[in-house]
Amino acid sequence: MTLPIFLVGARGCGKTTVGRALALAQGCQFIDTDFWLQETAQQTIADIVAHDGWEAFRARETDALKAVTAPARVIATGGGIILSEYNRHFMREKGIVVYLCAPVAVLADRLEAFPEEGQRPTLTGKPISEEVSEVLALRDALYREAAHHVVNAAQLPDQVVSDIEAALQLARA
Ligand code: ADP
Ligand code: MG
């Protein structure tokens, strides 16, 4: 595998979990744009948004995406990365984009079971299933537009990894 693989999808779809497992199986590097951004900025995403606003955060997210893009990498992106047309085109041109698609109920269950406190402020201040439903309604078309492949992310992580490898015709490292 030489082209970078970008994993896109809603919060809780498994970009970080599946990304790590895919990178391990492929013997390549794993990078998470959210972690990279927070380490580089020495601030949490919640702090960046609170101090500088969403627009400034989105600009830094694009910088992070460009900085981490390199061959032989699995790149887990932030859930809102596809909001920017620039980011969608950038990922499609520079690598292979995989949408980890899961129904609202699955996403809401995971986020309720494992709230990533401090990781990401709630987008609307509403109950989790309502928020997930609204955000997905707005973003699903953009995830699909950005993606070369759509994979069922409601399965166990190992199965999601296998499906990505099959879709991309990747051999195990
Ligand atoms: P994302 O990075 O897309 O926001 P994460 O990888 O952080 O999602 O996963 C969110 C939560 O859901 C984590 O607690 C993780 O353990 C769990 N999870 C992720 N993928 C799966 C899966 N395929 N099956 C079951 N649980 C999962
Ligand atoms: Mg993540």
- Residue 142 to residue 50: CA distance in whole angstroms: 26
Is 74:29 a contact under the CB 8 Å cutoff? Answer: yes
Q: What would the mean pLDDT of 126-148 be, rounded to a whole number? A: 93
Query: What are the tens digits of pLDDT across the range 144-153?
Result: 999 999 999 9
Token readout for 98 is: 């995989």
Length of the chain: 173
In angstroms, what is the span from residue 133 Cα to ligand 2's centroid? 18
Q: Output the CA–CA distances (angstroms, integers) from residue 4 to 8, 29, 71, 106, in the order listed.
A: 13, 10, 5, 27
Nearest ligand to residue 37 Cα: 2
Nearest-atom index, ligand 1, CA of 114: 14
Residue 106 belongs to some domain of the structure: yes
Report how many domains make up the chain. Answer: 1
- Residue 72 to residue 3: CA distance in whole angstroms: 6
pLDDT of residue 117: 46
pTM: 0.94
CATH of the domain at 128: 3.40.50.300
Residue 48's domain comprises: 5-168
Ligand 1 proximal residues by C-beta, below 6 Å: 9, 11-17, 76, 110, 114, 156-157, 160
* Among candidate residues 161, 139, 170, the one with its CA nearest the CA of residue 76: 161
Query: What are the tens digits of pLDDT across the range 68-122?
Result: 999 999 999 999 999 999 999 999 999 999 999 999 999 999 998 876 644 455 6
